[in-house]
Amino acid sequence: MRRKNMLFIMLLLATLSFAFSGKVIKVADGDTITVLKDGKKVRVRFYGVDAPEKKQEYGLKSLSVLKNMIDGKIVEVKEKDKDQYGRVVGEVYYNNKNLNLYMLETGNAWWYKQYAKDNVEFAAAQEKAKFEKLGLWKEDNPMAPWEFRRKNK
């Protein structure tokens, strides 16, 4: 019986995402921040979200929206993965608000389908922002950040 309980606990822990909190010390753009956690800098990339690049149309606005909301504030990060650059990939919360979702709902970022294809909440948030012509969706033909990066390599 003990062995089954231990196995259950190990499986449960494996499915839980790691969470930490820290102070935002830098907002690089609309989907990347640096958090001070236990005296160490941790770069965090928002899961399932891709904001316009700073040199791209609407990029500075996206940065500004996020910066005004959380710069210098304590956030919680629910880590999902690490990316190829060693950044934590996660969902970021401020005052219990999911900022990944917020950036999509307000039209300040794109749903990054490639990395969050099963996230129906993100898909719905983007569709609603598009329909309401919020943020970057006010533009006639906004260019996805991944296309902008590919074009400007």
Strand partners, 92: 77
More confident residue, 17 or 118: 118
- Assess if residue 27 is contained within a domain: yes
pLDDT in tens, 20-42: 999 999 999 999 999 999 999 99
Domain count, the chain: 1
Answer whether residue 42 is part of any domain: yes
Token readout for 93 is 């919360």
**b (16+ CB within 10 A) / e for 2-34:** eeeeeeeeeeeeeeeeeebebebeebbbbbbbb
Per-residue pLDDT tens over the stretch 85-137: 999 999 999 999 999 999 999 999 999 988 898 999 999 999 999 999 999 99
pLDDT interval class at 14 (50, 70, 90): very low
Residue 9 lies in a domain: no
Catalytic residue list? 45, 53, 87
Contact by Cβ (8 Å): 130, 144: no
Cα distance between residue 21 and residue 25, in whole Å:
12
Would you state the pLDDT for residue 153? 86
